[in-house]
Amino acid sequence: MCGPCFTTATRTHGTCPDCSQHRLLPGPPDISGGPRCAPCAGILHDFHCTNCNVEGEFYRRGICARCALRDDLNDLMLTDPADPETARKIIDVLCKADRPESIITWKRSPKVQALLTALSSGQTPLTHEVLDEHREIAGRGADHLRALLVHHGLLPYQDPYLARFESWVQDKLNALPSEVAKPVEYFATWHHLRRIRSLTTPDKSAQAPVHSAKQEITETIKFLDWLWGTHQRTAVNCTQQDIETWLATGPTTRKAIRTFIVFIKNTGTNHRVDMGHYTAKTRPAITQDQRVAWLRELLTGTSESLPYRVAGILLLLYAQPLVRVAKLRTRAIETNEAKGNMRITFGLHPVPVPKPFAQLLQEHLASRPNLRTGSGTQSPWLFPGALAGQPLHPNTIMDRLRSLGIDLRGARNTALDEHLTLSPPPLVADALGYSHQVAFIHADNAGDAWSRYVNQRTEP
């Protein structure tokens, strides 16, 4: 028997058609049905692990991968532990992975082994701050361990994007002259960090506000660096002409300094400057025919794997930003088997899921990827990520859909416009999770009759 066939045979579990027992099915199928258990197929080999008695593939000297992992971790962490109870809990968490082989591969890294040994010996306390320090040494290994420990309750929740943002800010400041670094640090600490910390909860990730803050801080650094290098001026004595010159001589990304300009004016650092809102000159959109064609392709085609097809349909059908799509939880989906319908919640109340998409969504729920990262099948995310307890990164979804040729902003605008032609903006906003203000702005941009009707009705 070849290697792939042997691997398949030793990893296939189910109900034997001959004896009706649920167990390993290494035997080939016969006229009575599918693959069979070893005794019914006449296979004399015993596939039971000599440690845990579970049937399956042997990983090492008659034991399964899970037992091999536990033996390795015991040798690594229980030789001379400072706190045996904590060390055993960490071992139990790591051994709960659905695919223990992946943890065995992960812990082969000398950096990961050094981190686990330091945690066990007491040389390194088990805290977020320590894992932040080890992130430079163990890299993604420290992130993976942190995600597992948080998911299983051995560490308190900490938003990973917020922690990385704090490190990112410090790295940025280290490379700047003091004339630029001081106002940037003040801006990052008292505007962005304070705001993001107040917004972040276990149910509300800091990813989107951190992404926006990074853009604003980066553009602010460029502006202040230019201001000091060209005119030897700082945020305190910056002039309105400096701002106008900076905006007029570069790309539109420079508009991101507006938050900083408003901040230094409101805090009294420089009350002589001002900057208005930027208005985009164009509004991307796709045609309704293009939208329908993409929906048909994602519903029936094979151009992408199932999770990304589902994510794309949520964008095209319900005008959902992919940042929000990535953070959808399975509890947002309600299935009424008696009535044979499905609903999904984006805003204040659930909306129906049409039959073709409902079937695809049900198939995705039954086969979500990345459930073997230590979080198990109990992951709350509709799109689980590679790190335990974390959703898929929205940039991953964006890149996959862009590679197909989908104009993401154009698709969202067209989908939202279509909803606004059928229902008043407040109803669309409540159903799809938008603010009323945003819904009316889109309705105005699309020339929608509902917004004109409301404006006429509100005149005295």
Whether residue 375 lies inside any domain: the answer is yes
- Of 146, 168, 142, 164, nearest to 156 by C-alpha is 146
Are 151 and 191 within one domain? no
Q: Distance between CA atoms of 164 and 136, rounded to whole angstroms?
A: 12
CA angle (342, 348, 354) in 5-degree steps: 25
- Of 162, 274, 168, 277, nearest to 217 by C-alpha is 168
Backbone phi and psi for residue 124, each to the nearest 5 degrees, phi listed first: -125, 120
Whether residue 60 lies inside any domain: the answer is no
CATH number at residue 441: 1.10.443.10
In 10 A of CB 451, how many CB atoms? 20
Q: What is the pLDDT of residue 449?
A: 52
Q: Distance between CA atoms of 410 and 284, rounded to whole angstroms?
A: 5
Whether residue 50 lies inside any domain: the answer is no
Q: What is the pLDDT of residue 459?
A: 42
Are 91 and 125 within one domain? yes
Cα dihedral 164, 373, 316, 338 sign: negative
State the DSSP H helix or E strand holding residue 75, giving kind and residue range, or none if neither. helix 65-77
Residue 444 token pair? 């105005």
CB 424 within 8 A of CB 454: yes
Whether residue 301 lies inside any domain: the answer is yes
Are 318 and 386 within one domain? yes
Whether residue 114 lies inside any domain: the answer is yes
Whether residue 459 lies inside any domain: the answer is no
Burial zone of 394 (CB within 10 Å; 0-12 exposed, 13-18 middle, 19+ buried): buried
Are 314 and 442 within one domain? yes
Are 193 and 252 within one domain? yes
Q: Distance between CA atoms of 271 and 452, rounded to whole angstroms?
A: 39
Q: What is the pLDDT of residue 91?
A: 92
State the DSSP H helix or E strand holding residue 134, giving kind and residue range, or none if neither. helix 128-138
Whether residue 393 lies inside any domain: the answer is yes
Q: Distance between CA atoms of 398 and 322, rounded to whole angstroms?
A: 7
* pLDDT tens, N- to C-terminus, the chain (460 residues): 788 888 888 889 899 988 999 999 999 887 767 899 999 999 998 999 999 999 998 999 899 999 999 999 999 999 888 889 889 989 998 888 778 888 898 888 888 888 889 889 888 888 887 777 766 555 566 777 887 788 778 888 888 788 889 889 999 999 899 999 999 999 999 999 999 988 887 777 788 899 999 999 999 999 999 999 999 999 999 999 999 999 999 998 999 999 999 999 999 999 999 988 766 667 889 999 999 999 999 999 888 999 999 999 999 999 999 989 999 999 999 998 777 789 999 999 999 999 899 999 999 999 898 776 555 557 889 999 877 778 888 999 999 999 999 999 999 999 999 999 888 999 999 999 999 988 888 888 766 555 444 544 444 4
Residue 37 token pair? 């258990």
Distances (CA, A) of 128 to 57, 192, 194, 211: 37, 21, 19, 21
Whether residue 9 lies inside any domain: the answer is yes
Residue 410 token pair? 């154009």
Residue 108's domain comprises: 73-157
Are 304 and 439 within one domain? yes
> Mind listing the pLDDT tens digit for each residue in 144-180?
788 778 877 888 888 878 888 988 999 999 989 999 9
Q: What is the pLDDT of residue 455?
A: 47
Are 344 and 320 within one domain? yes
Are 139 and 177 within one domain? no
Are 16 and 153 within one domain? no
3-state SS class at 23? strand
Quick one: how far is CA 101 from the chain centroid? Answer: 24
Q: At what angle do helices 110-121 and 140-151 cross, to 10 degrees?
A: 50
Domain total of the chain: 4
Cα dihedral 56, 58, 62, 65 sign: negative
Are 239 and 130 within one domain? no
Q: Which of 121, 141, 157 marks a domain boundary? A: 157
3-state SS class at 403? helix
Q: Whose structure tokens read 């995705």? A: 364
DSSP H helical ranges for 267-407: 288-300, 306-318, 322-326, 355-366, 394-404
Q: Distance between CA atoms of 275 and 167, rounded to whole angstroms?
A: 30
Q: What is the pLDDT of residue 114?
A: 87
Are 371 and 244 within one domain? no
Are 389 and 439 within one domain? yes
